[in-house]
Every structure is written in structure tokens, then in C-alpha cells.
Amino acid sequence: MLTIYTPTSGPLDNKVWQSGEPIPQEAVWLDLLDPTVEEDKAVEQFIGILIPTVEEMREIESSSRLYVENGARYMTASVMAGADSGRPGLVNVSFILAGNRLITVRHTEPRVLKLYIQRVCSIAKPPETGEAVLMGLLEAVIDRTADIIEHVGMDVDIVSQRVFGRHKGPIRAKKDFMEIMREIGAQGDLASMARESLVSLTRVVGYLLGEFDGLKVCSGSLEALNVMRRDLNSLREHTSYLNDKVTFLLDATVGMVTIEQNDLVKLFSVVSVILMPPMLIASIYGMNFEHMPELAKPWAYPAALIAMLVSAVVPYLVFRLNRWL
């Protein structure tokens, strides 16, 4: 889908491009969402540039993500998506600044871009140039990533309280270690994805600062880029701290599982040692008595079978109640 945004006296006018229609010259933002071949060709003919393919957007080296071609500046960043739905991931978004126009290319719609589009199409004074739209998009993406990192930090603190909280009785009766480890893993994945997104955004911001240096650009854009760079550096430091904390919690949880297993093995060892002398005595003398009145009773054999069954079931139930199994 190709959406064309044109400045007006009020909010940005947005229109979905239809096949065969000309693209207006006053358009400042061309948004390609999972574009067709026809939509790609229409933008390429209108701007005079090539639209990057999905494979090109997946390239991880800087030279393939940040470059100039035919006077247009190509920038590809990894943006977090799906954090609220429980299926987080990274979406590659390409920003192409060609003169006074911005072209964005993506094959999945992150929620942050959808919210930004709703905002710029409703405010009275929207951005009027592609450069201003790009600044607004980058700020929105950084703010959204910061919100995700804040939620990860709060969730990690909650998990930390569950792991190290004071409980009466054995810890194994209060916690499900598998559930805790899953939560730690999920938060660790989010923190890692946030850091990867921040690294790509830092490269984009640094590239723009280098490209804008000495050019006639809005002074507010340079100031905004410097602020974004400082924010990105601070967020990267915070994600490093979160990753270290997630690793510590994972190690601590594994250590507690090991301690629980050692306590259980110790319990079994103590029980075995306690029962060893009676078993030794019973094995030597148990069958060497002349008078054993139970041998003559008809119920003796069924009673022995029931006793064996109970002796097996009772320990099993005890282990299950104490969550040793």
C-alpha cells in the first residue's frame, strides 16, 4: 500500500494511491507498506531512485543500511514491534530522504508508526517537509523504545522480588522455577531486541548528523538530532544494565534450583542412613524365627501385599505434596 501525505493549511492530507494515478508534486511523505511491484515502480519513477528490497533491508553491515545514491540518503533502522501483543520482534524500516521528500519502506506496521501517522494527520500544525517528518518519526520510535525498556525494567524488578523475596517454608513450595525462568528469558529477549534497535537508531542519528553538517538544514533538526543521540546513549547504557541484571537473575535462579536439588538429595541420603541399620537387622534376623503367627493366618498374604502398596504410595504422595517430583 502506498499512502501519500501532502501538507495543507491544517493537518496532513493522506491519500491511498490508486493504480495509474499521478503522484502530486507537493507530496512530502510517501509511505510504502508492504508495497507491490507497481507501487515501487511508481515511486521510483516519481522520485528517480530505487526502492530497497526486503533482502537489502535485512543486510546488517552499515554500508548497506546507510548510504547515498542518486542524491538520496538511505537509512534502514530496526524498530521494535509486537511488544504489547506478547510476540515481540524487530521490523526493518527504511527512511529515504530525497530532497524535500521522505519515503518510508516497511513490510510490517509497527504500532509506533501507526500512532505517529494518526497524530500528524490530526494536529493543526503538522510537519511540512520530509526532513521534519523524519525527525518526528525518529523521536517517536525512540520514545516508544524507551517505554518498552521502562516496562522491561519494572518486570525484571518484579521477577527479582519473586526470586529473592522472603518466604516461610521451602522455596520450592512457593515458586515455579520453570515459570520464573521463562519470564526471565522473555524479559532478556526484550532487552536484547531493544538494544539492537537502539544500536541501529544510533547509527541513523549519527549518519544524519554527519550528512547535515555544513548543509542548509533547519537548526532545530540539528538540535533534535543531538538530543536524540544523548537519549540513545543513555538508553543503551540502561539496556546493558538490564541485560546484566537478567543474567544475574538467571544464574541466581539456576543456583537456587541446584540448592533445592542438593537439599533433596541430602534428605534422601539421611533417610537411607537412618533406615540402613533396621534393614540390616531385619535382613539378618527377620526370617530366622521359629514362631511367626502371621504365617498361619489366611489374611497374612493380602495384608503383606497391601502393606507393600501403602509403603510405596505414601512416600510418593509425600514427595508430590512437597513438590519434590
Round to whole Å and give the CA distance between 323 and 135: 55
State residue 320's pLDDT score: 74
DSSP codes, 24-35: PTT--EEEEES-
The backbone torsions φ and ψ at residue 37, rounded to the nearest 5 degrees and listed phi first, read -65, -40
- CA-based R_g, the chain, Å: 33
130-164 helix and 177-212 helix, angle to the nearest 10 degrees: 150
Q: Identify the three-state secondary structure at position 142.
A: helix
Q: What is the 3-state secondary structure (H, E, C) of 280-293?
A: HHHHHHCCCCCCCH
pTM assigned to the model: 0.74
CA 199 to chain centre: 15
How far is Cα 294 from Cα 8, in angstroms, rounded to an integer? Answer: 103
In 3D, which of 28, 33, 73 has the Cα closest to residue 49?
A: 73
pLDDT number for residue 171: 46
pLDDT in tens, the chain (325 residues): 888 888 777 777 778 878 878 888 888 888 888 888 888 888 888 888 888 888 888 887 777 788 888 888 888 888 888 777 778 888 888 888 888 888 888 888 888 888 878 777 777 677 777 788 888 888 888 888 898 888 888 888 888 887 776 554 444 444 577 788 888 888 888 888 888 888 888 888 888 888 765 555 555 777 888 888 898 999 988 888 888 888 888 888 888 778 777 777 777 777 777 667 667 666 655 666 667 777 777 887 788 788 778 877 887 787 778 766 5
pLDDT value at residue 323:
66
Parse the chain into domains and list their residue ranges: 2-259, 290-325
In angstroms, rounded to a whole number, what is the distance separating the alpha carbons of residues 245 and 93? 30
CATH 3.40.30.10, applies to 2-259: no
Pairing, β 2-6 against β 29-33 = antiparallel
